[in-house]
């Protein structure tokens, strides 16, 4: 990834006050959050707010997730650099960048073509080379490249879509917000010897996952 000096101080402060202070411990996640220039994933008018402790609009009625949420979700995946990762909900591409720094290859899907286009432009300009994009309903996963060692869903689902469980590798992990259209609980789903284990982590609020197995369009 291309190094970006601008807003470095704000980025350091974000990591200290929002990420480390709230208990994120994984060094690799912390380093990645320190590196990725979050401001480039939002509109210029939001640059001064890009390192603040809340989500921001990215167009098409969608949002870039709160920095802490990105860090906490990524930490749950326990990435070592070797994984094949599926991300459902590319959005701004910010979490995609974090995942790309920490894994071997990222497959990211988004239902709104305009967002994919913008995210791809940003990630290309930062010289990421291990990201594959698709415009499609992520409730169905992306079977062509399955199974995935890790899956992250960045929109709230009524339940864990079956296709995603099927496309999770053995010993793989998925994080997904599950609940109502307005509030959810982050779930961690693991597959061990073909069996699915699911635990609830903490409350969260995401935009709805829209599609088959998600909420209706």
Nearer to ligand SAH, 144 or 194 (CB): 144
Angle at the Cα of 109 (from 81 to 99), degrees rounded to 5?
20
**What gap in Å lies between CA 66 and CA 205, rounded to an integer?**
10
Residues catalogued as catalytic: 65
Q: Which residues of 193-205 are buried (b: 16+ CB within 10 A; e: fewer)?
A: eeeeeeeeeeebe
Least separation in angstroms between residue 78's CB and ligand SAH is 19
Tell me the closest approach of the beta carbon of residue 168 to ligand SAH, in angstroms. 16
Residues within the interface to ligand SAH (CB under 6 A): 58, 62-65, 88-89, 91-92, 94-95, 109-112, 115, 137-139, 154-155, 207, 209-211, 214
Rounded to whole angstroms, the Cα distance separating 192 from 86 reads 18
SS3 category, 70: helix
């Amino acid at each position: 990834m291309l190094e970006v000096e601008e807003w470095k101080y704000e980025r350091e402060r974000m990591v200290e006050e929002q990420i480390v202070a709230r208990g994120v411990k994984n060094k690799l996640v912390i380093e990645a959050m320190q590196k990725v220039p979050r401001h480039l994933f939002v509109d210029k008018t939001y640059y001064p707010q890009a390192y603040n402790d809340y989500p921001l609009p990215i167009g098409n009625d969608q949002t870039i997730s709160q920095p802490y949420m990105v860090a906490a979700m990524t930490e749950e995946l326990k990435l070592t650099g070797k994984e094949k990762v599926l991300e459902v909900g590319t959005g701004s591409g910010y979490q995609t960048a974090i995942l790309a720094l920490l894994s071997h290859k990222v497959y990211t899907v988004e239902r709104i073509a305009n967002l994919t286009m913008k995210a791809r432009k940003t990630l290309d300009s930062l010289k990421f080379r291990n990201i594959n994009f698709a415009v499609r309903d992520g409730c169905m996963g992306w079977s062509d490249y399955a199974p995935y060692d890790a899956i992250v869903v960045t929109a709230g689902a009524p339940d864990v879509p079956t296709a995603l469980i099927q496309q999770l590798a053995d010993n793989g992990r998925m994080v997904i917000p599950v609940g109502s259209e307005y509030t959810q609980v982050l779930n961690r789903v693991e597959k061990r010897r073909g069996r699915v284990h699911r635990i609830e982590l903490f409350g969260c609020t995401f935009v709805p996952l829209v599609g088959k197995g998600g909420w209706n369009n």
